[in-house]
């Protein structure tokens, strides 16, 4: 009898009775959850080696590559040899989730400075940059105001703000930017004439503002053509860099607003070229 007791005990354990088989649906759900965690991890780190991801998530390198292929297809990350990044390059813009978290304090300082340029009754064009989104959060104190934007997050933020007349620009929705782009968006902008346009770009050299994607460039150019006053708002990480497409020469901007971490020597070089540059204080 004692020989059979261990077998009966194992058969009667509640854990054995309650265990569910690993079905294809459960396996797929686990993979989706892992990819979401992996995307968040890459966003926090900026750039990560594939081997480090395999160790961090306890899976094989091959599994990491499959996960990254899926994330890249959805525009969340960008693979490179031996690793993955959420950071921009001269050809690829970073994902919106990464940009929302990057340099937040600097963008908020720029936004507070920009608010002083806006007076009640004005019409203001905001692009789909996270710097313009930081400004959108400040506009409730400057009403009445007409705000025109193609950025979905700004649209959702401003739609219920008292005193703000919101004009949402349509077009083809791009999830990687959370904004509306394309021919219909450009046509809508060109049918307007606004007091002020606030735009940001992903790279700025001594002579030009740049962006990696032509769809974004076309919308920004249309905004600059449609405004009486044009402002470039960029934090210090964008300077002394170039990207694939030129947005505009810096001379086309009436004002360039930067954060306090921008190299003073670079600011002085811009001013020597008779460009108007204002430095937003830290607080």
Given this model, what pLDDT does residue 27 score? 63
Averages of pLDDT over runs of 10 residues in the chain (283 residues) are 45 48 65 81 78 88 87 73 68 55 84 96 96 95 96 95 96 90 97 97 93 93 98 93 92 97 94 96 83
Given this model, what pLDDT does residue 21 score? 58
Q: Tokens 């086309």 sit at which residue?
A: 252
Q: List all residues 6 or more positions away from 232 whose beta carbon is below 8 Å from its beta carbon.
A: 199, 200, 201, 204, 209, 250, 253, 255, 256, 257
For residue 275, which of 241, 246, 234 has the smallest C-alpha distance? 234
Q: What predicted TM-score, i.e. pTM, was given to this entire model?
A: 0.71
The DSSP bridge partners found for residue 203 are 210
Q: Domains along the chain?
A: 5-87 (1.10.10.10), 98-280 (3.40.50.1360)
- Contact at 8 Å (CB) between 127 and 152? no
Given this model, what pLDDT does residue 252 score? 97
Tokens for 74? 């959805």
For residue 169, which of 157, 145, 193, 187 has the smallest C-alpha distance? 187
CB atoms within 10 A of CB 110: 27
Cα-based angle 160, 162, 164 (whole degrees, multiple of 5): 85
N- to C-terminal Cα separation, the chain:
80
């Amino acid at each position: 009898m004692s020989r059979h007791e261990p077998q009966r005990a194992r058969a009667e354990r509640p854990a054995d009775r309650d265990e569910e088989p690993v079905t294809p649906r459960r396996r797929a759900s686990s993979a989706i959850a892992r990819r979401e965690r992996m995307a968040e991890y890459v966003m926090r780190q900026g750039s990560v080696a594939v081997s480090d991801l395999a160790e961090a998530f306890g899976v094989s390198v091959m599994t990491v590559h499959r996960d990254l292929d899926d994330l890249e297809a959805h525009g969340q990350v960008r693979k490179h040899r031996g690793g993955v990044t959420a950071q921009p390059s001269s050809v690829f813009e970073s994902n919106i989730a990464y940009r929302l978290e990057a340099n937040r304090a600097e963008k908020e300082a720029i936004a507070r400075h920009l608010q002083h340029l806006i007076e009640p009754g004005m019409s203001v064009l905001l692009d789909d940059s996270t710097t313009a989104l930081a400004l959108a959060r400040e506009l409730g104190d400057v009403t009445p105001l007409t705000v025109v934007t193609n950025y979905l997050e700004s649209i959702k933020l401003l739609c219920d703000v008292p005193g703000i007349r919101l004009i949402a620009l349509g077009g083809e929705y791009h999830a990687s930017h959370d904004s509306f782009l394309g021919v219909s968006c450009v046509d809508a902008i060109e049918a307007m004439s606004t007091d002020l346009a606030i735009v940001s770009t992903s790279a700025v050299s001594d002579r030009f503002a740049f962006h990696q994607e032509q769809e974004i460039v076309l919308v920004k150019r249309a905004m600059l053509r449609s405004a009486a006053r044009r402002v470039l708002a960029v934090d210090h990480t964008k300077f002394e860099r170039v990207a694939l497409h030129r947005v505009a020469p810096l001379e086309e901007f009436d004002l360039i607003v930067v954060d306090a971490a921008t190299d003073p020597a670079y600011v002085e070089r811009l001013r020597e070229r008779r460009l108007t540059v204002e430095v937003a204080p830290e607080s």
